[in-house]
Chain A
Amino acid sequence: DAGVTQSPTHLIKTRGQHVTLRCSPISGHKSVSWYQQVLGQGPQFIFQYYEKEERGRGNFPDRFSARQFPNYSSELNVNALLLGDSALYLCASSLQGGSNQPQHFGDGTRLSIL
């Protein structure tokens, strides 16, 4: 079975631009979460979606937004990019949201801001 897939794998943008990152969850998983991981740190929670509804949001500015589609895939959008947005963006899926089930991660999108 395919795991969590993310696209693109690498992306280079300049300050002020916007970016859209995509995630396809494991088949049958209805919950998708997004994380930002800066080098040397653990992943930081950005959003969780379950059944197309936002269930949780971390301490990120409104420049960050996301949505989940009827097929449970998801997009993360970041507007007005800053140098500090350079990071690995991880998507994780689980069967349900808000439960104690483990999340399964994709290999991320490496975003570099010049």
Chain B
Amino acid sequence: AQSVSQHNHHVILSEAASLELGCNYSYGGTVNLFWYVQYPGQHLQLLLKYFSGDPLVKGIKGFEAEFIKSKFSFNLRKPSVQWSDTAEYFCAVRGTGNQFYFGTGTSLTVIP
């Protein structure tokens, strides 16, 4: 079965700092990869997704992620974070049978 690991459990940044959250998956075949965000008290929302094509994917709110097949990675990046980016971030992989498997999540706190 597919699995997803997120290395950073809790990240604290000052506003305007750059962000990179790690995500690695284990699966040798074709993958669909996703990043979701969960703002405090809200439900999960899709930030971006990768199905095929350009490995650099741009999402909403200035986020982007790069799919590196050789490293089984799909790291999330943002050049300059804002206080409003404080949230939980989840990486997910879609496996066979269309099930989605989530990483353990990264809690991001942005200090004004």
Our verdict on whether A and B bind, yes or no, reads: no
Which residues from chain A sit less than 8 Å from chain B, CB to CB?
Answer: none
